[in-house]
Amino acid sequence: MTTANSENNNETQVEETQAVTAWHVVQQPEGHCEIYSQAELTQTTAHPKTWGPFDSRAEAIAKRVGLIRAGKCLPK
């Protein structure tokens, strides 16, 4: 029974961590845009153009699609 409780606690912690994570769209020097979590963004070097934070990765993906359509980011 302890194992089941610890598994449920781990799942809850993962869900909370994912819910708290902010997502950013970052333009790379070659013009492509990548999606980074808040933690990844703080570990990378400064980027001249960023958009965000977004509450979910899906929102960041939608923003990247919009930026590609607007000609601000290159498609991959």
Instruction: Please report the pLDDT score of residue 12 as a whole number.
Output: 39
Q: Which residue has the tokens 């703080």?
A: 42
Q: Look at residue 1 and tell me if it is in a domain.
A: no
Instruction: Please report the pLDDT score of residue 20 as a whole number.
Output: 60
Instruction: Please report the pLDDT score of residue 48 as a whole number.
Output: 82
Instruction: Please report the pLDDT score of residue 42 as a whole number.
Output: 87
Domain with 43, as residue range(s), is: 21-76
Report the domain count for the chain. Answer: 1
Tens place of pLDDT per residue across the chain (76 aa): 444 444 444 443 444 444 468 999 999 999 999 999 999 988 888 778 999 999 999 999 999 999 999 999 999 8
| Local structure of 51: helix, strand or coil | strand
Q: Look at residue 4 and tell me if it is in a domain.
A: no
Q: Look at residue 36 and tell me if it is in a domain.
A: yes
pTM of the model: 0.71
Strands (E) across 1-76 are located at: 23-27, 33-37, 50-54
Q: Look at residue 11 and tell me if it is in a domain.
A: no
